[in-house]
Each structure stands twice: as C-alpha cells, then as structure tokens.
Amino acid sequence: MGDRGVRGAIVIAIALVLTVLSAMKFAPPGPEELDVYPSSSISRVAKLSEYNTALEGTAGDTLVLIYEGAEPGGAMLVVGGAHPDEPAGTVAALILAENVVLTQGKLIVIPYANASGFTHNLPQEGHPSDYTLQTPSGDRTIKYGSRLTNPVHQWPDPTVYVERVSHQKLAGTEARNLNRAYPGVEKGSLTERVAYAITQLIIDEGIDVSIDLHESSPEYPVNNAIVAHERAFDVAAISTLDLEMEGVQINIEPSPPTLRGLSHREWGDNTDTLALLLESPNPAQGRLRGVTDAELVVGGVDPMYIRASERGRLYVPYTDEGTPLAMRAGRHLASVQAIAAAYSMMAPHRAIDICGLPSYCDVLENGAGAYLNPNQ
C-alpha cells in the first residue's frame, strides 16, 4: 500500500470513529425516556396504536392516558407535544396527567403526541436535547425535541409537501410536521399515521372538546391566544371570561379555513369535536433569540427579545421577567380548566369536571416542577 493508500485508510478510520461516536450521541432513545406518572384518577393507560394499528411497533406510537369520573358526562382530549420544541405544551399536559382528579366525564391526555419528534433536535437551531425541572421528589429531565418527526423515522422528505385535503403546497420538510398532517392517513407516512390515529381517537371516544397545546415565538402575531374552529368559538369566548378573572389575558383567533392540515381546522371539519389550539410565547423557538440553552427554555429571559420588545417588534408583552416556562405552562393549564368549565356550562348533560390542578398563580409562584412527579 502506497503513501496515498495509507493516508486514505487513516482518513477512513478517523471518519469511522467519528461516525460511531456521533451515532452513539444521536441514536434515537427508546420510548422509555418519555415518562409520565399518572394521577390516581387514571382508568386506563393505552397506546395510540389502538386507534391505528399501522402505528404498532413504530416510533410514532405513544402513551394515551384515559381518566374517567364517577359520574358520566362529556369527553375532553388534551394533546401536548405535537411540537416537541414547544415545551409548555408538554409540561402542561404532564401536570394535567399527574394531578388531575376527575369527578365527572372523561379526560384523555396525550403528553408526547409526536414521540418521534422528541428523539432529535433540528439542525442549526442549537437547541438543548433536554431541560431539567426541580420537583418535590428531585430533578426531572424532560426531552426537548424538534417540531418535526425524526428523519431517522421518516425520510426522505418530498421536494414539496402536498397536503392531502386540499392539495395545499408546503415546504418539503413540513411532511414531518404533525400539525400539518391532519386528518391523517391510515397507512401513510409515520406523521400521517399519528395524525390519523389522533383523529380516529376523537371519533371513537366521542370527544366533545379537543385542545392542542402549542407555543409560538414572541414575534409571531398569533400568541397568548386560543385558536378556535368556528363551532368552538362560543366555548372559547366564555372561557376567556374565566381566564381574565384569573389574571390571564388571552385573545381568540378564528381558525383560517384556507390553512389546511392543522388540528384546529381538520379536527373541527372531520369530526364532531369542538377544536381549539392554545399558543403561549416561547423565546427558545424564535428567530430573534440570543444564547440558546436549557436556561432559556425554562427561564424564558432573553436580552434580544427585551431589545426587540423595546422597539415594538413583538406581539406579546416581554419585559426583564421574560416568559418563563412556569408562566406559559400555567396559562395552558388555566385555559384547559376554563374551557372545560365553559363547555360544562353550555352542555350540562355532557359536563366535564376537572379538579386537583394548581391555579395559574400557583404554577407561576412555585414553578412548573412543583406539580410534577407527585405519584412517582
């Protein structure tokens, strides 16, 4: 072997070592890392694949927590983690699942809706792979993922993603966005299968009210908001009265009929449920953010956003206090309770009575971690 051959062999050996080390770091973790400790009100822990068998054994299968009250009533679905880089949705769903006491009706919680999305981060976003919250029983580390399904599980992307309902065209990567895939396809791509399973769950379980928990960047106009399908507008409007009394200012935004594939549009159009989506301001996913780390995810303070706010570039109030995770998750929790109460008032025979949850002020004061792991 000549000099060139030796050099080539050395380069290939180094590349192999780097590949193996990288693969160890980036290999998708197993589903056991997505933990949840359901409250004592739990009736059944199911898997999403029960609603679409094409999901069985895939990275898209995820936990479905079903709570049933002693009294019959209506049914509510709360979905967190559709976008795993929007942590308030995940944390609010976890607090709900781990503390809820249900006296009437049925509640179904999916805390990690896009389980595959929790197994990676988007390149060039510099996001942390997890963040840690202090709980009464010690530190709890929660995965911080990507808004898209892991390409290890669904690849390649099409050049252009043609959404299935009205053939709307989106950038190819959006084919891995769960909240552009509804109502889903039974045997479609992994993301479409997950979307189909959730839509099917809404139909099979007779869900009256469905809430999708999200976040958006502070420079995004739809923020601190409830996005409501036209049939869900009344329940959204009544719930805002409760929220304002609790000190939570929130806007109601209509679900645009032309924007397809989103939960608030397709759940409402393809099932009988009242479809709503909640947004809170997350600086860690914005394009103006400064240093990107777990501290930003949890603390929510970013000097770049303070500067942008001072120049009037944001759609939400953003002061030196920032928008901490506790505040954002607290807003979602308060909104879920207010929506349940509003629906129960509008349809008393289908009431859903949710108790046992901390108030917005409690979460703000004690932090989100204070209400995690009570049953560990």
Partner 1 sequence: MPRPSCGRVMLVLAQLITFICMIGTFLLLAAALKLPAALATAGAATVGLAVSGNIGSLYHLIEGAFGYFDVILIIAMAMVFMAALEAAGILEEISYRITRRLGDKPLLLSLASMLLVMLPGMLTGSSTAAAMTTGRFVLPVLVGAGIAPARAGAFVALGSIIGMIAPPVNVPVMIIGSGIDMPYVGFDLPLLFLALPAAVAVSIWAAAGAKKDRPGKKPGAGSAPFVPASDVERISGIKVFIPILALVVMMFAVRLSNGSIPDPGIPFMFAVGALLAMVCGRRIKLWDTVVRGIGMAMPVMGVLVGAGMFVQVMTLTGVRGLLVTSALDIPRAWIFVAAAVALPVFGAISAYASSSVMGVPILLALLGNNEIVTAAALSMLASIGDLLPPIAIVPSLISQSSGEGTDYRSALLRQATVPILLLVLWAFAVLKWAPAIGKLL
Least distance to partner 1, CB of residue 260, Å: 7
Residue with smaller CB distance to partner 1, 238 or 288: 288
Q: Which residues of this chain interact with partner 1, rule CB under 8 A? A: 18, 22, 25-26, 121, 123-126, 156-160, 162-164, 167-172, 174, 219-222, 256, 258-260, 262, 287-293, 295, 299-304, 306-308, 311, 313, 320-322, 324
Tokens of 225: 């908001």
Least distance to partner 1, CB of residue 310, Å: 9
Other CB atoms within 10 A of residue 134 CB: 14
Residue with smaller CB distance to partner 1, 188 or 374: 188
Distance CA 301, CA 55 (A): 39
Across-strand partners of 107?
A: 67, 76
Using a 10 angstrom Cβ sphere, with 0-12 exposed, 13-18 middle and 19 or more buried, the burial of residue 103 is middle
Least distance to partner 1, CB of residue 148, Å: 11
Q: What CA–CA distances, in Å, run from 36 to 124, 233, 354, 371?
A: 30, 32, 19, 12
Least distance to partner 1, CB of residue 185, Å: 10
The number of residues in the chain equals: 376
The candidate with the shortest Cα–Cα distance to 104, out of 356, 352, 373, is: 352
Residue with smaller CB distance to partner 1, 260 or 331: 260
Do 253 and 225 meet the contact criterion of CB atoms below 8 Å apart?
Answer: yes
Residue with smaller CB distance to partner 1, 191 or 344: 191
Least distance to partner 1, CB of residue 292, Å: 5
CB contact set of 30 (below 8 Å; sequence gap of 6+): none
Residue with smaller CB distance to partner 1, 148 or 248: 148
Residue with smaller CB distance to partner 1, 50 or 230: 230
Least distance to partner 1, CB of residue 376, Å: 24
Helices 263-270, 190-204: axis angle to 10 degrees equals 50
